[in-house]
Copies of this chain bind each other. A is one copy, B any other.
Amino acid sequence: MPQLAFQDYYPDHLSYCYGCGRLNEHGHQIKSYWADDGETTVCVFEPLPYHTAIPGYVYGGVLASVIDCHGTGSAAAAAFRAEGRAMDTEPAQRFLTASLKVNYLKPTPLDPNRPLHLRGRIREVKGRKVIVDIDVSVGRDGSGEICVQGEVIAVRVPESFVVEAMAKAEQSRSDN
């Protein structure tokens, strides 16, 4: 795996996401990478003991969150790749979720020794839109049974939003 996660390339003012922002100290700090196969993307996530649905199983909203951010992260990586340039080149590209689908095939065990493994497959890169399919299994190596399947339709954040986010991030810093 490369040293930096996809999310580590997001510019500072777009790095406050509760799911994956490295500057959101309260958040999940989700990290995504290209897999060794160079084609799919992976994320390993350790749910906290209180991320429960019914006792012993992972809460569906946390699963949806990890799928969401692994999806938008994978979308950004795929978009850079489609343009033939590295993620640390300008202009930055940041994706938001337009549509999220999650199928909970079976309850996902919450086991401190077996983190969640997400595998993303880029289905389509077209204009501002990227579609990513994601399988979630339990266990660090990804060989576990698939408990959850997700689909993320991600769209590139318009420039006007990026400017606004930058202003709000600045404001937030000066308020603190």
Contact = CB atoms under 8 A, between A and B. Distances in A.
Contact of A55 (B13, B54, B64, B68): B13
A29 B168 CA distance: 28
Contacts of A161: 54, 107
A80 interface: no
Given A19-B61, A64-B65, A14 B54 contact: yes
Contact of A50 (B18, B50, B157): B18
Interface in A119-157: 157
B60 A164 contact: no
Contacts of A28: 61
Given A61-B18, A61-B68, A54 B98 contact: no
A22 interface: no
A117 interface: no
Chain A, interface size: which category? Answer: 35 or more
Contacts of A60: 19, 65, 68, 96-97, 100
A100 B102 contact: yes
A21 interface: yes
A27 B55 CA distance: 13
Interface string A55-80: 11001111011101100000000000
- Best-buried of A25, A55, A59, A99 by chain B (most CB within 10 Å): A55
Given A53-B18, A96-B53, A99-B102, A61 B59 contact: no
